Amino acid sequence: MAELFQWSDAYGVGIQEIDEQHKVLVDLLNRLHDAIHAHQGSETSRKILGDLADYTRTHFAVEESLMRVSNYPDFEAHKQNHEDLIGQVNALQIKLDSGEAKITFELLHFLKVWLTHHIKEADKRFADYFISVGGAPAWAPHVEQSMGEKKWWWKFW
């Protein structure tokens, strides 16, 4: 059976950690596709969807942290895009729990299209910006100096 989503270098954004996390998301989508295709049951599919939702939240937190430290000018819109997807997935999980919805190939198609578009558009714009500013900026000189000084409380660490 063919994968739902085949990763290629065309999806790479140029930030290794983000690209690796995107590959995990793609793998989870493919695992969900395989579970549905093989009729492994709703419990297995819901478990994989839960793993996908949890990992997506973690991934979004990493991206948003990088956006904050690099002062990404489109941070709010990008974050809202993340929150919109999380809201949709949360609503779906509630419907799945109550029996009002099932995990379908249409859902998988939606998730694939959303992820593809998000990576190629929003994440690529952010990555281009992040790389253009040299990644996270250096610490301010006074912070760098303070970090280099031994603190009394370091003996506890």
Q: What is the DSSP letter of 153?
A: G
pLDDT value, residue 11: 95
Kindly report the pTM of this predicted structure: 0.82
The whole-angstrom distance between residue 6's C-alpha and the CA centroid of its chain comes to 17
Mean pLDDT of the 45-51 span = 90
pLDDT of 98-135, one tens digit each?
888 888 888 888 999 999 999 999 999 999 999 999 88
CA distances (Å), origin 70, targets 12, 30, 50, 66, 109: 19, 32, 31, 6, 33
